Amino acid sequence: MPRLIHLSLIVFFFNACAAITTVEESKSIKGIPIQFKNASSQGQRATAVKEAQKLKGKKYKYGGTSPKGFDCSGFTSYVYQQIDITLPRSSSAQSQKGKKITAGAAKPGDLLFFKLSKKGKISHVAMVVSNDKDGLVVIHSTTSRGVIQEKIDDSAYWAEKLLYGRNYIDTP
């Protein structure tokens, strides 16, 4: 009899753990939004970076949204589609959504926005690959070289045009 009780308790706790996992993975329960744990967002961030890096070397194409050719916002939109997040199509529109962050607070998978002209309008977007003691590394589609990964700190051109970032991954 004690063995049956012990076995019942093990089954109960196993099922309870399975239910907890289901709750953490869902986006809402009965209409109430559930915040993802850091482990989930870290996995999503790593997947986004991995998907972006698969596209290194793809050509630039104005208005491009596929591996046949990307413009900057087509690239970020495509990568985010791979992790089931829908972004607005243009870099300007992407810069208006998500949670605004400083470039210094940017994590892998976050988007960074750049002003390329003196008009002050957002005209370029890149995705963060890493941001640590070694510097800020992004991946983006450039008109001259297509999809590349580079360290922003080493580029006087990009560093002076960087404005801010947006976090789309940790936002409900």
Which tokens hold the place of 158? 């990009």
Is residue 127 within 8 Å of 70, Cβ to Cβ?
Answer: no
Runs of H (alpha helix) within the chain: 2-25, 38-53, 72-81, 91-94, 156-159
DSSP for 49-67 reads HHHHHTTTTPPB-TT-EET
Taking the C-alpha atoms of 103, 50, 86 and 139 in order, what is their torsion angle to the nearest 10 degrees?
40
Active site residues: 72, 124, 140
